[in-house]
A = this chain, B = another copy of it.
Amino acid sequence: MKSRSKYHHGELRSALVSLAVAEIARAGVEKLSLRSLARQAGVSPTAPFRHFPDKQTLLAGIAIEGFEELTGRLTETSESNSDIEERFIELGTTYVGFAQEFPVHYQLMFGAVLGDFSTSKELQEAAASSYAVLDATLAEMKHSQDLDHDVATLGGLVWSAVHGMASLVINVPMASVSTGADAAPRQAVKSIHNDMRAGLKMVYRGVMR
């Protein structure tokens, strides 16, 4: 039960994260203000500091939340696909799908705003968990398929392609550029996005013998 007096918010931490994500989506990370978040949450300007030592850590919190969600999705995808090639491809679509649904999180997870992850052990671990799922699949492929390139190179290539797709789907700076004759790039992105499975298959076959 909740006390009538709202001296204690009760869910401030998670409320701040949600509000921050919404604010970033609306106005960009550049104009995010802790005080504004506090106002929206109906709390004093200094209350947020009881949950995050500073602004950076609040942002890191969003990234951590993102990695946790991503890890969950990747794990689920991995477990529900026994065929290795199928799994490989589905992991890619899951990855890009996540980026689509959580653009703000993704941007914090892979953008340069957060700088080096070394400042937060929690962040490092959350990120490592996500990559562990991908690594596992890669390792299995190494044994179950005849690759003509080492797994490291394969991983880099695939990761590059998938990560690139995700980035483009999110940012698509071209959305504003391609208004006329130069609409090709945008269509390209849209196309590759619409037919992600085909795209990954192409990469896959470029690597396999």
Asked if A189 lies at the interface with its beta carbon under 8 angstroms from chain B, I say yes
Chain B residues, Cβ within 8 Å of A110? 167, 171, 173
Q: How far is the CA of A101 from the CA of B3 in the complex (A)?
A: 57
Interface size class of A (residues with CB under 8 A): 35 or more
Instruction: Please determine whether A124 and B176 come into contact, CB atoms closer than 8 angstroms.
Output: yes
Chain B residues, Cβ within 8 Å of A202? 149, 157, 203, 206-207
Q: How far is the CA of A21 from the CA of B167 in the complex (A)?
A: 23
Q: Looking at chain A's contact residues, is the secondary structure mostly helix, strand, loop, or mixed?
A: helix
Q: 22 pairs across A/B with beta carbons < 8 Å? A: A30-B55, A107-B112, A109-B173, A111-B113, A112-B171, A117-B173, A117-B176, A131-B182, A149-B198, A150-B191, A152-B187, A153-B188, A153-B199, A156-B168, A156-B191, A157-B203, A160-B162, A160-B189, A202-B203, A202-B207, A203-B203, A205-B206
Q: How far is the CA of A124 from the CA of B103 in the complex (A)?
A: 22
Known: A135-B184, A177-B128, A205-B206. A157 touches B112 (CB 8 A): no
Instruction: Please determine whether A168 and B176 come into contact, CB atoms closer than 8 angstroms.
Output: no
